[in-house]
Structure 1
């Protein structure tokens, strides 16, 4: 099992001062957050991408993924292409982080890229429900 799935953190969100609902604190993983369930981990993906849009003015997959998976740690362009191919969203198209039909596939694709296997769509959908509450 991948580290992200073991931590119930399908986006491999790194440790930070930010605390998310459903986060296990303290995390037993020194580098990555842990969540109570995969759904809470997916909710954190939605929250973080929405924060990128609202607070940082990032509007496209390219801008968001470049921050999510910076070139210093990742093959960012390949990551962007993979999410764009999975979702059918142009990398430079503005995305609406409050649009379920757009964001559920984005989070599922991020999970696939991060963990190497297809996301459990039920968990992604439950994460959206937790985010939208």
Structure 2
């Protein structure tokens, strides 16, 4: 048994749920348990995450750490308040402070740490965010 988290194993560090209607760039399918998407490389899982967060901000007006994480990780599945407070503190912002697209790489970086328990290479997060058009 591997000690890597599911998100790391799937190259999907923010655990995007699989949806047959979403054909993410370099999505390779769905994990064996059938819930989360898998990607060919970590940068593509990060790209999908950054793109979703960018859409949350642009389409739905979700621009604070709390609002984004509340949608991403609803409290019926996650400790949403703890998640948002932890990520905001690590980013050095207030949990209800409006963010811009420039914050997306840092937000993704800290969300990965919360979701997976480890940091991934910041350069990968920047590359995935760039591929998503978020920076």
What SS does the aligned partner of 1:132 have? coil
Matched, 1:8 2:1: no
Offset of residue 20 of structure 1? 1.6
For structure 1, which runs of at least 5 residues remain unmatched after alignment? none
Offset of residue 129 of structure 1? 2.3
Aligned to 1:56: 60
CA distance in 1, matches of 2:117, 2:31: 22
Q: In the alignment, which of 23, 36, 39 is matched to residue 35 of structure 1?
A: 39
CA distance in 1, matches of 2:95, 2:23: 29
What SS does the aligned partner of 1:34 have? strand
Give TM-score scaled by structure 2 length.
0.89
Q: Is the Cα contact below 8 Å between 2:73 and 2:80 reproduced in 1?
A: yes
CA distance in 1, matches of 2:133, 2:63: 19
Q: In the alignment, which of 59, 78, 82 is matched to residue 78 of structure 1?
A: 82
CA distance in 1, matches of 2:109, 2:50: 11
For structure 2, which runs of at least 5 residues remain unmatched after alignment? none
Give TM-score scaled by structure 1 length.
0.90
Q: After the TM superposition, which segments of 4 or more aligned residues of structure 1 sit over 4 Å from their partners?
A: none
Between 123-132 and 84-93, report the one with greater CA deviation.
123-132
Per-residue CA deviation, residues 24-48 of structure 1 (Å, 9 max, x unaligned), is 1x32341001111110111111100
RMSD between superposed Cα atoms in Å:
1.4
Aligned to 1:89: 93
